[in-house]
Amino acid sequence: METIRIGTRKSKLALWQAENVADQLQQAGYPTELVLKETKGDKVLDVSIAKIGSKGVFTEELEEQLASGAVDIAVHSAKDMQSRLPSGFEIIAFGAREKINDVIVSEKSIDLSKNLVLGTSSTRRVALFRHFYPNVETVDVRGNLQTRLEKMKSGLCDGLVLAYAGVHRMGYDPMIRYELASDEFIPAVGQGSIAIEAHDSLSQEKKDAIRSVLNHPSTESRLLAERAYLARLEGGCSIPVFALANWSGDQLVISGGIVSLDGTQRIVKTLRGNEPISLGNELAEEILKAGGDKILAEIRNQL
C-alpha cells in the first residue's frame, strides 16, 4: 500500500499520539508520513476555549487537509472531537483507552481541604470544583502541557488539573500529587482515547486497513455510547457535561450528567444496556428530564 499520510497538531503530546499511531501502522507493514499543522486552538492562547467557540477548535485545520487529500487520516485526542462531525467526515478508529481520571500536578503537596489556586481551561473541571471543593479557586490556563507547567512554575497557580493520559504520555507521572475520584470528577467524553478521523474521499481499502490496525473494539463501544450522549445534549468543549461508559460483563454501564457553571446543581444518572448509541441517547433523555434541560438553557445564556 502507498504511504499513509497522518495529519497532526505540533504540540509534544499531539506528536506523541501521532507517532504512536505511525508505529502501529508501520509494525503492520504500512509506510507512514507525518504532516504537521497548527490549529486555531493552538494559536489563540489568551482567550478561553468557550469564547473562541467550541466547535472544531483543535480539528478544523486538520479537517481541511483531510478534505483536500493532503493527508489520509488525522490523529486527535478523542475528548477534543466535537460530538457531530461536519458532513463528509467520520471517526474510523478509536485507540485503546488509557486510565481516564483527572489528576492534579504540582511541585508541592496538594491538600484539597485548604485554599488553593488550580489552573484549568475546562468549564467541566471549574464547575465540579465549585460543586465539590468550593474553597478551591481556579484560573484559566491555556497552551500545551509544557506551556502550562511553565505558567504554574512562574507562580500563576499551585497546581494544574489535567487528564492523567496526557500527563502519563509526556512522562510527568512524578508530578502527580492527587488523583480525582472518577465518580465525582466524571471525565470528559472520550478522555484517554485517541480518535482517528478520515474523509469520505479516502478509499475503502485504506480505511479498512487503518481500522484493522488501530481500532480497539471495547473502547469503541464505550466511546460510541459517550459520544451519543454528548451529541444529544449538543455539548461542546464549553458545556460542562460528562459521561463515562465501562464494560460490566457483556453489558455497558454508562454514568453521565451535567453541572451548572456555578457548581450548585449537579445531575448524574447511570444506565445499563447493550447497544451503545441508544444507551447514550437514553442517558441524555434521562438527564434532560431530570432538570438538565434547564441547566443547559442557563449555561447557553451565560456563555
Task: Give per-residue pLDDT as tens, 134-153.
Answer: 999 999 998 889 999 999 99
**Measured between alpha carbons, how far is 31 from 33 in angstroms, rounded to an integer?**
7
Asked if the domains 4-95+194-215 and 229-302 are classified in one and the same CATH topology, the answer is no
Q: Is the confidence at residue 303, as pLDDT, over 90? A: no
Query: What does the pLDDT look like over 245-282, one tens digit per residue?
Result: 999 999 999 999 999 999 999 999 999 999 999 999 99
- Confidence bin at 57 (pLDDT 50/70/90): low
Q: DSSP code of 111?
A: -
55 is catalytic: no
Domain 102-179: assigned CATH number:
3.40.190.10
What burial letters (b/e) apply to 203-230, b meaning 16+ CB within 10 Å?
eeebbebbeebbbbeebbbbbbbbbbbb
Mean residue pLDDT of the chain comes to 92
> Catalytic pick from 80, 102, 140, 158?
80
pLDDT at position 44: 42
169 is catalytic: no
Domain coordinates of the chain in residue numbers?
4-95+194-215, 102-179, 229-302
> Catalytic pick from 5, 9, 125, 130?
125
80 is catalytic: yes
Element at 287 (helix H, strand E):
helix 276-287
Q: Is the confidence at residue 283, as pLDDT, over 70? A: yes
> Catalytic pick from 79, 97, 232, 266?
79
Domain 229-302: assigned CATH number:
3.30.160.40
pLDDT at position 299: 93
Angle at 173 between CA 172 and CA 178, to 5 degrees: 115
130 is catalytic: no
Q: Are 201 and 65 in contact (CB under 8 A)?
A: no
Q: Is the confidence at residue 179, as pLDDT, over 80? A: yes
Q: Is the confidence at residue 60, as pLDDT, over 90? A: no
Q: Is the confidence at residue 52, as pLDDT, over 50? A: no
pLDDT over 70 for what percent of the chain?
Answer: 92
Domain 4-95+194-215: assigned CATH number:
3.40.190.10
124 is catalytic: yes
Q: Are 201 and 67 in contact (CB under 8 A)?
A: yes
157 is catalytic: no
Query: What does the pLDDT look like over 76-114, one tens digit per residue?
Result: 999 989 889 999 999 999 999 999 999 999 999 999 999
pLDDT at position 59: 78
> Catalytic pick from 9, 148, 207, 232?
148
pLDDT at position 56: 55
**Measured between alpha carbons, how far is 256 from 149 in angstroms, rounded to an integer?**
30
79 is catalytic: yes
Helix 12-27, helix 204-214: angle, nearest 10: 100
> Catalytic pick from 102, 227, 237, 266?
237
> Catalytic pick from 142, 169, 207, 222?
142
Element at 272 (helix H, strand E):
strand 266-273
pLDDT at position 58: 66
